[in-house]
A and B are shown apart, each in its own frame.
Chain A
């Protein structure tokens, strides 16, 4: 229903018309596609497919959650996440769809469960994407640090306590002649930047603060958030030459 049309309706009609639009059904051959008022990360509606089988109905998500993951190259994550979600909702899954077979008396709840599961699987993977940039930088970072500084003085994925007494998980600690250097891989996502910035500020308040170095993929891509990171630490890019790393800990 067009927004302009709704604006000209009485209030009750707006609500009732909108409510009727929340669920849509389309039949294609023997298969019904039902759009539910549950949104996937793309803004599309979770959609279930209902097909007749001998014992009743097969309800599945038509692979629409899988398609969302495939769009961002994460389709291999479907199976692992589908297993966890399917267990909690007592449904099944195969390589690309979430599915359950039911009789007519269970159809209502099965449609709800598959719709919820479809969103849950997609959301679980997309929420991890924000951390993936950070993980990719970290993988590369540890190799670089070992090559440049050697492994003896390096501690990977360590915890360090800040002035607040809060422990911070950091990508690596490097013991230098003058003290300690903290390396933290930072992705472009706001959460990654805020977490690193908060940790760096807390560490900077220690009596003998370590040198704090944020390692990012692309400084320019951070925009104004680069300033935020630089307030409490040094910032380098992961593919800069070795001497930049050496200068960063000096």
Chain B
């Protein structure tokens, strides 16, 4: 199925596999949930979710990823970052683009439409290099799930459980 059709379809997570064990070097935890469209689980089309176990309520990523079964390469087609530790995002400067050169905040949306070149029927080079602000305030992980569901057209995001974050009452982030 072409990328625009995949993105625009009404979707559901076929199952939530649970969060991974943390990576030893980074403490990153993640899941890849298969996606179904009209009752059919699509080939190699997943929702990737990730965050850092020791950094609660921050730096959460949700990304729609496609791949061909025979290829090792995957293609992200949309991504949402919530309270990124990387200090937001900077768009490339491009003539004629309203998003050109803009810095967007730590919570932002690498939308499919901003990163799809219709005239060439392909995604922009790089890793979803264009992003825009998200209009609504996202105060909690549950609110984030609702936002991702709305922007990615996934109707059952609430089956994703809250990450097993390690809270440290004495060393909270600031």
Binding site for B on A (CB under 8 A): 1, 3, 21, 24, 26-30, 33, 35, 39-47, 62-64, 66-68, 71-74, 76, 94-97, 126, 129-130, 132, 136, 188-189, 220-225
> With contacts A41-B129, A126-B126 known, is A29 near B168, CB below 8 A?
yes
* Residues of the B chain whose Cβ atoms lie less than 8 Å from the Cβ of A68: 127
Asked whether B109 is an interface residue with its Cβ less than 8 Å from the other chain, the reply is no
Instruction: Say yes or no: A223 contacts B171, CB within 8 Å.
Output: no
Q: Which B residues between 97 and 149 are near A, CB-CB below 8 angstroms? A: 102-103, 110, 119-122, 125-131
Instruction: Report the separation of the CA atoms of residues A180 and B165 in the bound assembly, to the nearest whole angstrom.
Output: 64
Residues of B within 8 A of A220 (CB): 121
Q: Which residue of B lies closest to A191 (CB)?
A: B125
Contact between B173 and A221, CB atoms less than 8 A apart: no
A residues in contact with B126, CB < 8 Å: 41-43, 126
Bound together, the chains give a CA A67 to CA B127 distance in angstroms of 11
| Cross-chain pair count, CB within 8 angstroms | 123
**Would B23 and A47 count as touching, CB distance under 8 A?**
no
Cβ of A26 and Cβ of B85 under 8 Å apart?
yes
Interchain Cβ contacts under 8 Å between A and B, 13 examples: A41-B127, A41-B129, A42-B127, A43-B129, A43-B131, A66-B26, A67-B61, A71-B127, A94-B25, A95-B25, A96-B25, A126-B127, A221-B120
User: Are A63 and B23 also in contact (CB < 8 A) when A27-B174, A29-B54, A223-B120 are?
Assistant: yes
Cβ-defined partner of B86 (8 Å) among A44, A96, A129, A221: A44
Whether B74 and A62, one on each chain, are in contact in the complex, defined by CB atoms closer than 8 angstroms, is: no
How far, in whole Å, are A27 and B121 apart by their CA atoms in the complex? 42
Q: Residues of A contacting B90 with CB < 8 Å?
A: 39, 43, 45
- Whether A43 touches B130, Cβ cut-off 8 Å, given contacts A26-B85, A224-B119, is yes
- Name the one of B28, B50, B85 contacting A47, with C-beta atoms under 8 angstroms: B85
Let me know if A63 and B127 touch, CB within 8 A. no
Asked if residues A3 and B102 are in contact (CB atoms below 8 Å), the reply is yes
Contact A26 B72, CB 8 Å, known A42-B89, A44-B86: no
- In contact, B125 and A30 (Cβ under 8 angstroms): no
Chain A residues, Cβ within 8 Å of B23: 63, 96
Docked complex Cα distance between A74 and B121 (Å):
23
B97 CB to closest chain A CB (Å) equals 13
Q: Which secondary structure characterizes the binding site on chain B?
A: loop
Residues of B within 8 A of A27 (CB): 173-174
Size bracket, chain B contacts: 35 or more
Which A-B residue pairs are the 7 nearest by beta carbons? A35-B87, A63-B26, A29-B171, A73-B74, A28-B173, A42-B127, A44-B86
> Nearest Cβ distance between residue B104 and chain A, in whole angstroms?
9
Provide the residues of chain A in CB contact with B128, threshold 8 Å.
42-43
- Check if B74 sits within 8 Å of A71, measured CB to CB: yes
Contacts of A189 in B (CB 8 A): 125
Spot the interface stretch: B34-42, B63-71, B154-162: B63-71
B88: interface (CB < 8 Å): yes
Of B67, B71, B73, the most chain A CB neighbours within 10 A belong to B73
**Of all chain A residues, which has the CB nearest B74?**
A73
Q: Is the CB of B89 within 8 A of A28?
A: no
Contacts of A225 in B (CB 8 A): 120
Identify A188's interface contact among B50, B72, B122, CB under 8 A: B122
- Tell me, rounded to whole Å, the shortest Cβ–Cβ distance linking A111 to chain B: 14
Q: How far is the CB of A117 from chain B (nearest CB, A)?
A: 15
